[in-house]
């Protein structure tokens, strides 16, 4: 008590200089071994035979097809999951209905299930011997071992990303702004675009970036539903594995460098969006509300 009254702060855990240095050293060592070293190995092996060989490996037809298939999958899966995340967050945070908590739990399921298990489940549903297999075969619709199956598997593993970023933020914001906009005569869509969207845009972009990164790097679920057909249903992660098994280490690392570059870009964008989001969160709620509602007044 006397120490507290004299103005001296009680010691915190880890304040000792030796302990602090040891803790920082452990963290730096872990980062160097687990994060920095693999990225350095990828870069060194990818360019080990020079830039022309690297360019030739990237330009190889199967590699180009894998890149295009990965990009196409992302262009389909990410917008759909973005729309789903917005709709789910809006429904859960702005409305009360039976099964609301159950819906929140269901959205989290992809995080607790192995992607390979998800891929096998899709086979049992949409495969030739699956639940809807005979119907799909009769209609000449091919889901498994084709682009639709890859998109479905990618959508499953990334479904929660956007919703998980939006739900906590929209819960914290409450419903007052939307209700005020409605009382001023704004329609539902106008309320969303002029009140809700400006207040969630940074969290939304953050979720989209994470979703896109996971789609392009997904391996487990896609490996089951794609069939691993070289030059046809191989996404970039699957193609990297095939190149490695073919003892084309330089080609595998060249292709892997694309995903590594994507990961670095994702981290940079992630940090930038976190800074933007923090700046918006630091604004007084009353000011944010006034800015939004001024756009819907007649």
Of 208, 202, 204, nearest to 288 by C-alpha is 202
124 Cβ contact partners less than 8 Å away, ≥ 6 residues apart = 130, 131
Q: In which residue ranges of the chain is pLDDT below 70?
A: 1-15, 277-298
Residue 219 has a CB neighbour count (10 Å cut-off) of 16
DSSP string, the chain: -HHHHTTPPPPPTT-SHHHHHHHHHHHHHHHIIIIIHHHHHHHHHHTTT-HHHHHHHHHSHHHHHHHHHHHHHHHHHHHHHHHHHHHHHHHHHH---TTHHHHHHHHHHHHHS-HHHHHHHHHHHHSTTSSSHHHHHHTT---TTSHHHHHHHHHHHHTHHHHHHHHHHHHHH-SHHHHHHHHTT--HHHHIIIIIHHHHHHHHHHHHHHHHHHHHH--HHHHHHH---TTTT--HHHHHHHHHHTT-HHHHHHHHHHHHHHHHHHHHHHHHHHHHHHHHHTS-HHHHHHHHHTTT--
Tokens representing 152? 């479905």
Tokens representing 136? 């799909």
Q: Compute the distance between CA of residue 73 and CA of residue 78 in angstroms, rounded to an integer.
A: 8
Q: Compute the distance between CA of residue 105 and CA of residue 172 in angstroms, rounded to an integer.
A: 19
Q: Quick check: 188 and 94 in contact, CB under 8 A?
A: no
pTM: 0.82
Residue 29 has a CB neighbour count (10 Å cut-off) of 10
Phi, psi (deg, nearest 5) at residue 128: -60, -35
Residue 36 has a CB neighbour count (10 Å cut-off) of 11
Q: Compute the distance between CA of residue 30 and CA of residue 42 in angstroms, rounded to an integer.
A: 18
- pLDDT given at position 249: 87
Q: Quick check: 77 and 152 in contact, CB under 8 A?
A: no
For tokens 């940074």, what's the residue? 202
Tokens representing 109? 């399921």
First to last CA, the chain: 61
For tokens 């896109």, what's the residue? 212
Of 94, 100, 97, 76, nearest to 200 by C-alpha is 94
């Amino acid at each position: 008590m006397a120490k507290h009254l004299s103005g001296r702060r009680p010691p915190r855990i880890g304040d000792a200089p030796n302990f602090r240095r040891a803790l920082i050293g452990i963290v730096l060592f872990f980062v160097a071994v687990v994060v920095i070293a693999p990225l350095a190995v990828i870069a060194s092996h990818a360019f080990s035979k020079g830039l022309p060989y690297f360019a030739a490996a990237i330009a190889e037809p199967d590699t180009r097809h894998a890149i295009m298939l990965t990009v196409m999958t992302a262009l389909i899966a990410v917008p759909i999951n973005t729309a789903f995340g917005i709709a789910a967050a809006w429904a859960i945070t702005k409305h009360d209905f039976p099964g609301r908590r159950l819906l929140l739990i269901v959205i989290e399921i992809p995080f607790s299930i192995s992607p390979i298990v998800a891929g096998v489940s899709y086979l049992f549903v949409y495969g030739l011997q699956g639940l809807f297999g005979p119907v799909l075969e009769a209609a000449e619709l091919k889901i498994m071992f084709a682009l639709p199956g890859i998109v479905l598997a990618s959508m499953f593993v990334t479904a929660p990303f956007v919703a998980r970023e939006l739900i906590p933020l929209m819960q914290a914001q409450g419903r007052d702004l939307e209700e005020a906009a409605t009382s001023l005569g704004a329609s539902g869509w106008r309320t969303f675009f002029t009140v809700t969207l400006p207040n969630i845009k940074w969290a939304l972009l953050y979720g989209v970036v994470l979703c896109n990164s996971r789609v392009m790097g997904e391996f487990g679920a896609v490996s089951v539903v794609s069939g691993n057909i070289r030059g046809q249903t191989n996404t970039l992660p699957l193609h990297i594995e095939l190149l490695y098994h073919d003892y084309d280490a330089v080609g595998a690392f060249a292709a892997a460098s694309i995903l590594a570059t994507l990961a670095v870009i994702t981290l940079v964008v992630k940090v930038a969006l976190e800074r933007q989001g923090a700046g918006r969160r630091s604004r007084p709620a009353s000011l944010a509300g006034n800015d939004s509602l001024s756009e819907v007044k007649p």
